[in-house]
Amino acid sequence: MEFDMHGISPEHEGKRLRIEFTDGEVCEGKLIHLATCNEHASCCGIIFDMLATNQPEKHKRSFERSSHPAIWSEIEFVRNFEVIGD
């Protein structure tokens, strides 16, 4: 069984994306890795270097460690995205 990756593919790795999440958060980030799994929805997701977000409070602890923290999100929480740069 394959899960809906919401249009994100390995070709997007390394690109700068604007990602809208189901909770209303909008991030700009560089996609580091697209994780896929044929068996578990919870294994499918993205790791990206966070460059900007409209909900910085949600990532307060991550931003204390790095100005561009690596963030994991399960793919099911991605509403849509667009490529904004290389």
Distance CA 23, CA 18 (A): 15
Q: List the structure tokens of 23.
A: 């909770």
Residues 8/79, Cβ–Cβ less than 8 Å: no
Give residues 8-47 in contact with Zn ion (rule: CB under 5 A). 37, 39-40, 43
Q: Which is nearer to Zn ion, 38 or 86 (CB)?
A: 38
3-state secondary structure of 73: strand
Identify residues 55-84 at the interface with Zn ion (CB under 5 A). Answer: none
Q: Which is nearer to Zn ion, 14 or 40 (CB)?
A: 40
Where do contacts with Zn ion occur on this chain (CB under 5 A)? 37, 39-40, 43
